[in-house]
Structure 1
Amino acid sequence: MIRPLPLFIGLRYTRARRRDGFVSFISASSMLGIAIGVMALITVLSVMNGFEKELRERILGMVSHATVNAYDGELNDWSGLVDTLQARPEVLGAAPFISGEAMLTRGGEVTGVLLRGVDPALEGRVSEITEQLIAGNINELRSGTYQIVIGSRLAQRLGVGVGDPLNVVTPEARVTAAGILPRLRRFEVAGIFEVDMAQYDSSVALIHLDDAQRLLRLRDGITGVRLEFADLMEAPRLVRDIALSLPGQYLVSDWTMQHQNFFRAVAMEKTVMFIILLLIVGVAAFNIVSTLVMAVQDKQSDIAILRTLGATPRTIMAIFIIQGSVLGVVGTLIGTAGGVALALNVETIVPAIEQLFNADFISGDVYYINDLPSDLRLHDVWRITLAAFGLSLLATLYPAWRASRIAPAEALRHE
């Protein structure tokens, strides 16, 4: 088989048994460092992707893709608006809601909550709350019955279950013979939901839309309309279209605006983590410089003989670029294979380690979630692989250039 001369000699130098064992050690450490760096980078980015995806799904299971609110804080004659929004082809669901703050009391326990009035018949179109119920039924929220659905952590704090009573206290004051008192109403727990996020499990309570109107004295008004789109990533564009097409003045926002700072922080963390871990790959890749510098020093007589036989400086440079690139390619491939395997199985490996050491690495009391998710994305694998190979190739240029500048007569003088 006829192969190009630089490729033939470069591969032979890679396979050859070196007289200096230290050179071989540095080559192996460079290859191992690249492999570990690539594997860590793929695994960490996959975990961060999984973390972002899990949070987005859980947050959007409680909030909507978009909301339409009135400028004055209260929407009247809103049924026509709901029908108009529901008729749009890109809108999968539209549901009215009322939002307000309140306190829940039970015995000596008092806690603040975000009180949300919903229509049980329409709520399933814009949220996944019905799928998150662990007890009870959201359809028990009937007008005038004063039923309430609360989060699991909130139920534990108040010590209540389905069928137990609790008091809802709103900041709307009422004047009585005894003075000005806050409005208080006794509710019965109709259901308990759990989304595994303390932000919602401990601070959100749902009641019927009509009960919320009575409790907050909104008459027939609502806070706004929640929307569900076919593609949540298209929400910013669709919100702009809806805002321009609606008659009258409305405040229209999407989930990226409501949680903009949070998801921007996650994206920044991913970028910073990518750069930090890429430095590990860079350090390992530039160990190739040391390997090739010593290899060039060891092969000076070979370089001189090749030059006298007619090899050009470009040929000599290509030989050592190929030799160093082989180290980078092998290390990158090993790291990629290990990273993909680890990322695909991290959800199994971490619980096994936790069980082995009887430890809880991801506590739901500290973090938003209580497990370690992973979302392996092909474009991340390609980006990391190409970056590692690019750094490895860059590390070969200087030693290869030095090899091409060796003068044959000077190299053979001491032979």
Structure 2
Amino acid sequence: MILSPFEWTIAKRYMLPGRGEAVIALVASISIGVVMLSVAMLVIVMSVMNGFRAELLDRITGLNGHAVVQAYGGRLENWEDVLAEVRDTPGVTRASPLIEQPLLGSYNGRADAIFVRGNTQEDIDRMRESVLLGDMSSLKPGERNVAIGSRLAQNLGIRIGETLTIINPQGRSTPFGTVPRQIGYTVTAIFEVGLYDFDERFVVMPIPNAQTLLLTGDTIGMIEVQTEDADRVDEILAPVTQRLAGKAVVTDWKQMNASLFEALQVERVAMAFALSIIVLVAAFNILSSLVMLVRSKTRDIAIMRTMGATRRSLLKIFVTAGSIVGAIGTLAGLVLGFTVLIFRQGIVEGLQALFGIELWDPSIRFLSELPAKTDPFEVLFIAGMAMGLSFLATLYPAYRASNTDPVEVLRYE
């Protein structure tokens, strides 16, 4: 829609009402503000929801793989053959043996539930980036050294170099019953991966040490599998599932965390729908401001009609005025939204300090920090929706203005 110099001049004049039109200017300013806030909220909320899902998926699959192969009964016999078979499957990028067992940890009279996790040396080395204190290289087979999560260390009050006693209820049998197995391990590293449950419960050691502690011999608990595409994990591992039917079960990340990710998806859709209504409200504000502008400018419109202005020119003038209000609000909303996303963690910490409340509780949110991941296509959709609704809101007032009858308006002038 190309405007002539006359049409553009009038449109600019109507976008900046004069002193006697303060109410119209106020309504137009409110319209810009509402569009700005609605676009910013949509961008922020959708980015945080996307970031939460992506970060949670990345952390979960980074620790437990995209899927696990677990034998019935919890002990995988002849696991070397199964491991080789899984590694040879097209689409599998990595497969590692793994042991996980819930036990009890004790230090200085304090006890807490823990998960003993036996990893290969390669997987232990991969965790070095998460180490806060100590050194993961000290975790060697045959040496009683372990790495523990940062929150577990806080709960027990244990530090580097001190001894954590791990209690296994499956101990040795005596005439007086089974005596739990208690072994002391030196804490040589404290890590933080960002998943609250993992940092609060897990104790990492080499697989041979975990087998000795749990008295499982040469068996393992499961095999964790990493694939080239997390969304196609069920398709990639379908041949493995068929070959291991009756011997082991293959569980992917979708099945292990189905309720969590389904809840996230439902919440994401609900929030997007609710916030989209705010954009609709902003469009109605633009409509109301233009209706008021048309009513206040009825005499001017009639005079322009008598001077030769066409209906099409008046239609273009008011559509342009309303669309520019929507465009300004949309651009301002995008700037505000991206600014909040950049400084999101500082804003959360500032609000927590100001009001003395915890807005982001890792024990509930699973992650230690507020994540965000912006999808360019979603941003374009949000901007397009705001601009589209703003444009639609201009059509009725512009139509009313273009159909003004100069004879009726100027009859008594």
Superposed CA RMSD: 3.4
- Alpha-carbon distance in 2 for matches of 1:284, 1:122: 52
| Superposed CA offset, 1:330-349 (max 9, x none) | 21122222322332343455
Assess, with a 3 A threshold, how the Cα gap between structure 1 residues 295 and 245 changes in structure 2: closer, same or farther: farther
Letter in 2 for 1:20: E
* C-alpha distance 239-397 of structure 1, shift in aligned 2 (>3 A): farther
Deviation at 1:42, TM superposition (A): 2.2
Q: Select the residue among 365, 370, 373 that pairs with 1:372.
A: 370
Range 84-93 or range 283-292, more displaced: 84-93
Helix, strand or coil: the match of 2:225? strand
Which of residues 251, 261, 264 in structure 1 aligns to 2:262? 264
Distance in 2 between the 1:247 and 1:290 partners?
66
CA deviation digits over 1:251-301, x for unaligned, max 9? Answer: 222223222222332333333333333333332221112211112212333
Q: Which residue of structure 1 aligns with residue 170 of structure 2?
A: 172
1:139 Cα deviation after fit: 4.3
**More moved, 55-64 vs 298-307:** 298-307
- 1:296 corresponds to which residue? 294
Q: How many residues align?
A: 412
- The correspondence of residues 187-336 of structure 1 with structure 2, limited to 5 A, is 187-240=185-238, 242-244=240-242, 249-304=247-302, 316-336=314-334
Instruction: Provide the rounded CA distance (Å) in 2 between the counterparts of 1:4 and 1:194.
Output: 63
Could you say what secondary structure the match of 1:222 adopts? coil
- Does structure 2 retain, via aligned residues, the 8 Å contact 1:120–1:138? no
**Does 1:104 find its partner at 2:105?**
yes
- 1:66 matched to which residue of 2? 67
Name the counterpart of 1:13: 14
Q: Measure the CA separation in 2 of the matches of 1:280 and 1:199.
A: 36
Match of 2:237, SS? Answer: helix
Contact 1:97 1:117 in 2 (8 A): yes
SS at the partner of 1:411?
Answer: helix
- Residue 208 of structure 2 aligns to which amino acid in structure 1? D
Residue by residue over 1:20-65, the C-alpha shift from the partner in whole angstroms, topping out at 9 and shown as x without a partner, is 2211211122112212322233233333433444333333342222
Asked if the contact 2:124–2:136 (Cα under 8 Å) also holds between the matched residues in 1, the reply is no
The letter for the 2-side match of 1:36 is L
Contact 1:347 1:374 in 2 (8 A): no
> Structure 1: where are the runs of 5+ without partners?
none
Query: Partners in 1 of 2:9 and 2:239 — Cα distance?
Result: 62
Go from structure 1 to structure 2 and tell me whether the alpha carbon gap of 1:393 and 1:157 turns closer, same or farther (over 3 Å shift): same
How far did residue 16 of structure 1 move? 5.7
Match of 1:49 in 2: 50
* Secondary structure at the counterpart of residue 20 of structure 1: helix
1:114 maps to: 115
Does the aligned pair in 1 maintain the 2:36–2:333 contact within 8 Å? Answer: yes
Alignment of 1:348-363 (within 5 A): 361-363=359-361
Q: Residue 148 of structure 1 aligns to which amino acid in structure 2?
A: V
Contact 1:343 1:375 in 2 (8 A): no
Aligned residues of 1:198 and 1:364 also touching (Cα < 8 A): yes
Check 1:80–1:414 CA distance in 2 against 1; reply closer, same or farther (3 A cut). Answer: farther
Q: 5 Å matches for 1:138-149?
A: 138-149=136-147
Identity %, equivalent residues: 34
Query: What corresponds to 1:40 in structure 2?
Result: 41
What is the Cα deviation at residue 176 of structure 1? 1.2
CA distance 1:244–1:410, change in 2 (3 Å): farther
Is contact 2:90–2:236 with CA below 8 Å preserved after alignment? no
One-letter amino acid of the counterpart of residue 207, structure 2: L
Whether contact under 8 Å (1:173, 1:183) holds in the other structure is yes
1:159 to 157, 161, 164: 157
Under a length normalisation based on structure 2, what TM-score does the superposition of the two structures give?
A: 0.84
